[in-house]
Amino acid sequence: MTCNGGESEVEFNPIFVSRMIPKLDWSTLFQAADGVSVSGSPAELVTDYEKNEDFLCKIHRVLLEVKAVEGCLQCPDSGREFPISRGVSNMLLNEDEA
């Protein structure tokens, strides 16, 4: 199954996406999607999202199809940055952090 008839590297699974939504920090997800200019990402969680395939497709795209090639991930709690190089994030702690 695909979203909106488009091609995707990751097959759209509405049940999987629905089960991921309660685990997300919605404002952080939207801020991240907005920060990398993902067009069409929903700013707010809709009611009955489990039955809203258009909404689930948008979340699928944000969670499973957007790839960071270069940059960094920043922990919202500590502010620590983890570098991303050639699509691979380095989340290893330094010895003094372990």
Kindly report the pTM of this predicted structure. 0.70
* Contact of 30 with 42, CB cutoff 8 Å: yes
Integer Cα distance of 97 and 81 in angstroms:
13
Q: 23, 97, 31, 20: which is closest to 64 by C-alpha? A: 20
Q: 70, 44, 74: which is closest to 58 by C-alpha? A: 44
- Residue 98, pLDDT score: 67
Each residue's pLDDT tens digit in the chain (98 positions)?
667 655 667 899 999 999 999 999 888 888 888 877 777 778 888 889 999 999 999 899 888 888 888 888 888 788 889 999 998 888 888 788 76
Burial (CB count within 10 angstroms: exposed 0-12, middle 13-18, buried 19+), residue 95: exposed
